[in-house]
Amino acid sequence: MKKVLTIAGSDSTGGAGIEADLKTFQEYGAFGFASLASIVTMDPTRGWQHEVTSISAELLEKQLISALAGKAMDAVKTGMMGNEENIKVAARFINERDIKHVVIDPVIACKGTANILQPKSVAAIIEDLLPLAEITTPNLVEAGILSGMGDLMTVDDMKAAAEKIYQLGAKNVIVKGGHRLQTHQALDVLYDGASFTVLAGEKIDTDFNHGAGCTFSAAITAGLAKGWTILESVRTAKEFVAAAIKQGVSINPYVGHVWHGAYNEAERRMNHE
């Protein structure tokens, strides 16, 4: 059984964050662990305003000690870290322990809120986490911030940003075009330091994409844990997320959630009505 850890935030609505990660790990047949770095709550009476509450670095450390006891962790991913101190703690543990695969999801902005992390956290992601990454998975906005390029409008912009992020120390970079890129297909750019691979997928016309980013990087993490290559892991993750978006579920009136069980056609195993 592969052991896979997420160090991330809790999405109290169940679609993104550690909830997405654990559901995805389970679908991949891996044994999921979560070390909470933050908790995100949303206020229905204030226009679905997001609030991030950080977990203390001390408590994050205790969770990591618990999760990392025993047989080596096959893969780890990071998500919303809450603050700079938590980034440093996570980086230290990833550095010190024998973890075979490291995926850094540089969660800086998320839908529904403009500025979820402080600029300080961006610097810490660049300094402490990107150099540890076997792969990092920024969306268009995050890639613009990490590369210092600002708004990315074209595939060429995405390639240039991927190159700059690679130079920050990540061994592979996948910039997700997602729904923001003005193209007919959903395009992602993968860069491994030597060549670019543009991955094209169907652009799905839906608002049910809450959790898509976390699910994508969690799926890559579980794929790498299974021993798949970067390209195999990324391709399967793309299919996994496309299925999750297509079979999105209505959980609340504020955002449309992806359904993490879609790829394995969970409704055939157990009805979720």
Q: Could you list the residues that contact ligand PXL (CB under 6 A)?
A: 8-11, 16-17, 40, 79-80, 107, 110, 213-214
Complex with ligand PXL: residue 57 or 160, whichever CB lies closer: 57
- C-beta closer to ligand PXL: residue 144 or 160: 144
The bridge status of strand 49-54 relative to strand 75-78 is unpaired
Q: How far apart are CA 35 and CA 103, in angstroms?
A: 15
Q: In the complex, what is the shortest distance from the CB of residue 110 to ligand PXL, in angstroms, rounded to a whole number?
A: 3
Query: Least distance (Å) from ligand PXL to the CB of residue 193?
Result: 27
Cβ(88)–Cβ(128) under 8 Å? yes
Alpha carbons within 13 A on the beta-carbon side of 235? 7
Q: Which CB atom, from 110 or from 174, has the smaller least distance to ligand PXL?
A: 110
Measured from the CB atom, is 102 or 160 closer to ligand PXL?
Answer: 102
Output the smallest distance, CB 207 to ligand PXL, in A: 14
Closest to ligand PXL by CB, 9 vs 261, is: 9
Nearer to ligand PXL, 42 or 160 (CB): 42
| Closest distance of CB 107 from ligand PXL, Å | 5
Q: What angle do CA 176, 182, 186 make, to 5 degrees?
A: 40
Q: In whole angstroms, how close is the CB of 271 to ligand PXL at the nearest point?
A: 27
Sign of CA dihedral 158, 164, 167, 168: negative
- DSSP assignments along 133-177, one per residue: -SEE--BHHHHHHHHT-----SHHHHHHHHHHHHHTT-S-EEEE-
Give the separation between CA 203 and CA 187, rounded to whole angstroms.
Answer: 9
Query: Which residues lie across from 49 on neighbouring strands?
Result: 43
The residue at minimum Cβ distance from ligand PXL is 17
Distance from chain centroid for Cα 92: 20
With respect to ligand PXL, which residue has the nearer C-beta, 26 or 113?
113
Q: Is 27 helix (H, G, I), strand (E, B) or coil?
A: helix
Shortest distance in whole angstroms from residue 38 CB to ligand PXL? 7
Q: How far is the CB of 210 from ligand PXL (least distance, A)?
A: 7
- DSSP H or E run through 50: strand 49-54
Q: Pick from 90, 91, 103, 96: which is nearest to 72 by CA?
A: 96
